[in-house]
Amino acid sequence: MRTLEEINFALDRLIELQEKTAIEAEKSRKEFEIRSLKTEAYINNIGKQVGGLGEKFGYFTEGMALPTMEKILEKQFLINTVTPRFKRKFSPTKTVEYDVFGYCNGKVNNAVIVEIKSKLETKHVHELVAELREFKTLFPEYKDKHLYGILAVVDVGDKDAISLAKESGIYFARITDNIFTMQPNPNAIDFNL
């Protein structure tokens, strides 16, 4: 049997070891927390860089499409005013931006919104239709114009989106040999009616 003195010594030693373990655990927790914060900051930075690359690729695609789209707008819609990245802020929470907006005045009163996408998805068709439907409410100064929409794409990711665009009354343009060509759409509609 152990003596009382041996038991007290063992208890003191156990308490001492528990205190050391608690100190080490707290130290490890703090180190882990610091590493976690650094990792989170690193991941956020990478996310911003990737997002920035996506934005730059979008601007690159728009820049590649713009010269051809200007010609298409001029030739097929008689547009004489073209504004890339047309943007208007309505309130601190509401800003509207189109990749390209063109219009003309006179005998022909047309306006065209062009959205340029590197990869077409069905959601892009729905977004453009919503933008076209909202247009005359947001821009009453253009209410007398015939309003058309064009989706210009580099890559067709979703083939059903082409059919949906045409059925929705939107023109569809695609790049071939570094030039965008617009496909005819007998279902094209004036969204300002």
Q: Could you read off the pLDDT of 80-125 as tens digits, one per residue?
A: 999 998 999 989 999 999 999 999 988 889 999 999 888 888 999 9
Q: In what order do the strands lie in the sheet with 171-176?
A: 81-91, 94-103, 110-120, 146-156, 171-176, 179-183
The fold of the 64-183 domain, in CATH, is Trna Endonuclease; Chain: A, domain 1 (3.40.1350)
Average pLDDT over residues 165-171: 90
Q: Which of 55, 161, 173, 43 is nearest to 116 (CA)?
A: 173
* CB-count burial class (<10 Å; 0-12, 13-18, 19+) for 31: exposed
Query: Which residue would you say has higher pLDDT here, 78 or 177?
Result: 78
Give residue limits of the domains in the chain.
64-183
DSSP string over the chain: ---HHHHHHHHHHHHHHHHHHHHHHHHHHHHHHHHHHHHHHHHHHHHHHHHHHHHHHHHHHHHHHHHHHHHHHHHHH---EEEEEEEEEEETTEEEEEEEEEE--SSS-EEEEEEEEEEE-HHHHHHHHHHHHHHHHH-GGGTTSEEEEEEEEEEES-HHHHHHHHHTT-EEEEEETTEEEEEP-TT---TT-
The pLDDT, as a whole number, for residue 64 is: 64
Q: Model's pTM, two decimal places? A: 0.67
Give burial (CB, 10 Å; 0-12/13-18/19+) of 95. Answer: exposed
Mark residue 185 as left, alpha or beta (left: phi above 0; alpha: psi -120 to 50; beta: remaining).
beta
| Separation of alpha carbons 151 and 123, rounded Å | 12
**pLDDT for the residue numbered 53:** 47
